[in-house]
Chains A and B, each alone.
Chain A
Amino acid sequence: MSVVEANLEHDVHAHDEHEHHEELNFWRKYIFSEDHKVIAKQYMITGIFWAIIGAAMSVVFRIQLGFPGADISWLKPFLGKWITETGALDPNFYLALVTMHGTIMVFFVLTAGLSGTFSNFLIPLQVGARDMASGFLNMLSFWFFFASSVLMFVSIFLETGPAAGGWVVYPPLSALPQAHMGSEMGMTLWLLSMAIFIMSSLLGSLNYVTTIINLRTRGMTFTRLPLTIWAFMITAILGIISFPVLLSAALLLIFDRHFGTSFYLSEIYINGEALPNVGGSPILFQHLFWFLGHPEVYIVLLPALGITSEIIATNSRKPIFGYRAMIASLMAIAFLAFIVWAHHMFVTGMNPFLGSIFMFLTLIIAVPSAVKAFNYITTLWRGNIVFTPGMLFSIGLVSLFVSGGLTGIILGNSALDIQLHDTYFVVAHFHIVMGAASAFGFFAGIYHWYPKMFGRMMNNTLGQLHFWLTFAGVYLVFFPMHYIGIAGFPRRYYQFTSFDFGKSFTDLNMFVSIAAIFTFFAQFVFLWNFFYSMFKGKVAPMNPWKSTTLEWTTPVNVGHGNWVGEIPAVYRWPYDYSKPGSDVDFIPQNVPHSQTPESNFPHENAYIAQEKEIEAQNYNDQFQAH
């Protein structure tokens, strides 16, 4: 090992003496860094910070839902005047919490935290690049995200509270400050924050796509890309196409709020006055919002599926089953994601014929999703499975993806959606399939790539414990929640006692709340493991999981530029696990076929001739270019 490290020092000096990144000061190295790995960690830490806040908020409103009117004056130090005199949660703040929980989790944790962390970290490492196509834009992307985070964070402490019209911020409620406390300054900051967030997301996504297309190393053809990279690229394309639409929706809403336009407002009488706005349509906002909102579900989920594909193959010691089918289904899901948005709007008064079309398109998504699920299962079949925490979370993800996805078949059916729309059935559905599944992808990714990120191992046993507690917790929270939905309980209700039909299930709601609190506290096992291992964890070997992809060919403590010396060339696909004839159960991508004659399939011997060609190709090395 020390030889390698010495080599590293030597090579860095030999190759990069003239480079600017040799002696960076603290600020440029850790804060305003252009190194994709540092930026990834910045995204990760910010994401974890937001996840704690978002989850804690859900605990507060779950207390209200499970124990209506419970005395929570002990939270007064945090919530102050939002606790009423009887010690109960203020109904306005309940809505604010629900809204912030959704916004934070969807955008800041699962979009920025998940995609930002792993796209940044893995794309250059797995395609064999020194860094992102534009390190500067990448840095800018994070700091835009940071700025939007600060705005959103500040909004929580406003006198009138943060935005509170649901994470979908439907106007007119969100457009009229006089309609709701949360539509005052909180909503202004929400819109500003989201506008900046969208810029950040676009800068990031453009960088990801450019890097994947332009900076692949020698021999890294598209069909040799790991599925993670495919997933990240398709996610980025989804983001590039759909986020600008949300920006326009937000801009028009800003205009309606501040400049007297009527894009979304028409025929409104509120607080004793008839507003002058006519001709606008609140439904227009919903169309624009869901044109992002639905792809957003996949922006959140696809990276998690990519991560899972990689981890399941590695730890089953088998090639992923149906590599090309996996790519095709990713593409199919991404394509369909753009033409199903109105299934969120079956009962908005939209033309029923449109509803039929969207039902048809929506249910088609079940097909590529089913293909993915079956492929994961077949990958496990006759494998030699190692239960690393990352693997456990990946299998858990597949289970959640299937369990949550199935109920989508019901909700996507417009006739059945009439009753279930905006009930807890929907809440349960998307929390399992998109919330928990993506969160599992986040955990799986962290456990799996932690050794590469910090050069140390996380504690496996604690990771496994964390998994089982979380897995059980998620099912205990969201499985019974379907029942509450079938009984017709509407979402975003402060309490259910105003209605006779809402008087059943008080115990089940209590149970769900207790399970949620339990699951929340189980996450501290992870937090402890995460931060403790950063300093005290076992020093990681170069390739702890015996994986084939390029990132594991980098040194334990990866410097800026990723590889010491030349970037490795790639000769094979990323899933040569347990290849017949081979002594070892994995053959890394950078091992040429000429070195493995014993395990080559007949058609692969033809690749030997191409090896010279690959080696003769341009280095595509950014750090050498100028």
Chain B
Amino acid sequence: MVYLVGLLLLVLLGVAIAIAAKLQKVMGSVQSNTEADAPVPNNKINGAMWMFFLIAGTVGAVWSYLSARNYFLPEASSPHGRETDSQFWLDMSLLTIAFFIVNFLLFFFAWKYQYKKGYKATFYPENHKLELIWTAIPAVIMAVLVFLGFRSWTQIMSDAPADAQVIEIMGKQFGWIVRYPGIQDNKLGNYNFKLITSDNEMGVDYSDEASMDDFINPSEMHVEVGKPVSLKIRARDVLHSVFIPHMRVKMDAVPGMPTKFWFTPDKSTEQMRAELGNPNFDYEIACTEVCGRGHFAMRLRLIVEDKASVDAWKQQQKPLLSTILEADPKFISKIPEKLRAKAMDYAPYVEEVDSTTAATGSAAAATSSLR
């Protein structure tokens, strides 16, 4: 790649020097001659430049595409992504054809009909038939593209299937936190931004029974391969945007307005590693809505694996409530009375702490257990 860049630059430099030299020459010696020929100097050279630009541009465009495409993202790892990918390349090929035709005509005509002494341009102010044709053709093509786009868009944006794995993802300055519904009830509990503390970073509301077993993770998201994932997206400070490049997923995270996006990851991380021959490959989640200084580094790993691995991972995760109670046993007092007994199930460590600290006389632990 470095060589290619170097080569291109060299060509660029060469062109610049060539033009400069040519123009200099014309300026110096042939000026009187050209001036007699055309109303402005260098008319012929500029005419020829269009053809040169056309050829060099075509070569450059084709060659740069061929060399760049190795670096494009690999085929999407989700069915909707593959569909939009193929639609993208279909659109792109139509556009490329239009791009070459239009630019060819433009540059070719510029060269072909350059000033000739004594030639009179054709007075040709309109042609309704021609205009109708070139209004109709783009209109028809657009109609087809709109239809295709509309069809995929409606599918992608439809409601998530009932069996989808529901995961909440919250953006903050500067990172993501994911929340899982927990292994006991498999239901996400409520949240409230006013409950956010340094322990309870997502403001999980423990007056909701479903919250008890929820667990969070600030660095990884694990999902089961082949099963739809329904992301519940929110932000707690400013706008963020969930971007999973390989899944072709993007949706803004908006404070005060939860958003969602569902997709089906159908290639596991392992599969992709094998496919790409890159043992270090990882799916990544990035932020694409500018959110401040650390915007460029809001990375979250996405691990797509089989059901057994995901379940094993989930088993290892400690419910957030346990972590909170471990750090602050008094937190139990903030939980409504009728749920306290259930909440205590998630505080095994309090029990332990209680028995050991009884001797050392920790007042805090004592109070919480007395209640």
Q: Report A's interface with B, CB cutoff 8 A.
A: 91-92, 95, 165-166, 170-173, 176, 179-181, 265-270, 272, 274, 278-283, 316-325, 347-349, 352, 355-356, 359-360, 363-364, 366-367, 370-371, 373-378, 380-388, 392, 395, 398-399, 402-403, 406-407, 409-410, 413-416, 418-419, 421-423, 460-461, 464-465, 468-469, 471-472, 475-476, 479-480, 483, 486-488, 490-496, 498-501, 504-505, 507-508, 510-511, 514-515, 518, 545-546, 575, 577-580, 585
Query: Known contacts A274-B194, A378-B124; can you find 8 more A-B pairs with CB under 8 A?
Result: A173-B238, A283-B254, A352-B153, A377-B109, A386-B43, A413-B153, A421-B250, A500-B284
Of B88-96, B161-169, B208-216, B313-321, the one contacting chain A is B88-96
Q: Shortest CB–CB separation between residue A573 and chain B, in angstroms?
A: 9
Interface stretch among B16-24, B322-330, B336-344, B346-354? B16-24
**Residue pair A371, B98 in contact (C-beta under 8 Å):** no
Contact B146 A359, beta carbon cutoff 8 Å: yes
Q: Is the CB of A392 within 8 A of B46?
A: yes
Instruction: Name 28 A/B residue pairs within 8 A (Cβ), A-sorted.
Output: A91-B294, A172-B239, A173-B239, A265-B256, A268-B236, A269-B193, A323-B125, A349-B258, A352-B157, A367-B138, A378-B127, A378-B130, A380-B106, A383-B122, A385-B113, A388-B39, A415-B153, A461-B41, A479-B60, A483-B64, A488-B243, A493-B295, A498-B299, A500-B280, A508-B5, A510-B5, A575-B125, A585-B120
Number of interface residues of B (CB under 8 A): 127
| Chain B contacts with A in 30-47, Cβ cutoff 8 A | 38-43, 45-47
Question: Do the beta carbons of B103 and A399 come within 8 Å of each other?
Answer: yes
Contact of B121 among A325, A383, A471 (CB under 8 A): A383
B193 touches A274 (CB 8 A): yes
Instruction: Determine the chain B residues whose CB is within 8 A of the CB of A363 once the complex forms.
Output: 142, 145-146, 149
Roughly how many angstroms separate A464 CA and B34 CA in the complex, as a whole number?
Answer: 15
A6 to B192, CA, bound (A): 82
Indicate if the CB atoms of B46 and A387 lie closer than 8 Å: yes
Contact: A359 with B125, CB < 8 Å? no
Q: Which residues of A contact B270 (CB under 8 A)?
A: none
A268-B256, A418-B156, A493-B296 are contacts. A318–B122 as well, Cβ < 8 Å? Answer: yes
* Nearest CB of A to B267, in Å: 15
Q: Is B59 an interface residue (CB 8 A)?
A: no
Q: Are A387 and B26 in contact (CB-based, < 8 A)?
A: no
Q: Determine if B245 and A406 form an interchain contact, defined as CB atoms under 8 angstroms apart.
A: no
The answer to whether A348 touches B102, judged by C-beta atoms less than 8 angstroms apart, is no
Interface residue? B331 (CB, 8 A): no
* Contact, CB under 8 Å: A349 / B251: yes
Q: Which residue of B lies closest to A362 (CB)?
A: B146
- Check: B226 CB closer than 8 A to any chain A CB: no
0/1 per residue, B239-251, Cβ < 8 Å to A? Answer: 1010101101111
**A345 closest partner in B (C-beta):** B252
Q: Is the CB of B146 within 8 A of A580?
A: no
Q: Are A483 and B135 in contact (CB under 8 A)?
A: no
Measured between beta carbons, the chain A residues less than 8 angstroms from B251 are: 347, 349
Interfacial residues, chain B to chain A (CB-CB below 8 A): 1-2, 4-5, 8-9, 12, 15-16, 19-20, 23, 26-27, 38-43, 45-47, 49-50, 53, 57, 60-61, 64-65, 68-69, 71-73, 81, 84-85, 87-88, 91-92, 95, 98-99, 102-103, 105-107, 109-110, 113-116, 119-127, 130-131, 134-135, 138-139, 142, 145-146, 148-150, 152-154, 156-157, 173, 193-194, 196, 198, 203, 233, 236-239, 241, 243, 245-246, 248-252, 254-260, 280-282, 284, 286-297, 299
Are B123 and A579 in contact, with the CB atoms below 8 A? yes
| Distance to closest chain B CB from A316 (angstroms) | 6
Considering only CB atoms, which chain B residue lies closest to A423 in the complex? B288
Q: Of all chain A residues, which has the CB nearest B3?
A: A507
Are B286 and A490 in contact (CB-based, < 8 A)? yes
B138 to chain A, nearest CB (A): 4
Q: Are A490 and B146 in contact (CB under 8 A)?
A: no
Interface hub of B92, B121, B139, B196 (most chain A Cβ within 10 A): B121
| Bound Cα distance A176, B237 (Å) | 9
Collect the chain B residues with CB atoms within 8 Å of residue A383's CB: 109, 113, 121-122
Q: Which 7 A-B pairs have the closest CB atoms?
A: A266-B256, A349-B259, A352-B157, A387-B46, A413-B149, A488-B245, A415-B152
Residues of B within 8 A of A460 (CB): 40-42
| CB pair B289 A487 closer than 8 Å | no
State whether B290 touches A492 (Cβ < 8 A): yes
A267 touching B256 in the complex, CB below 8 Å, given contacts A367-B142, A410-B95, A496-B296? yes
On whether the beta carbons of B256 and A382 are closer than 8 Å, the reply is no
Which residues of chain B are near A483, meaning CB under 8 Å? 64-65, 68-69, 71-72
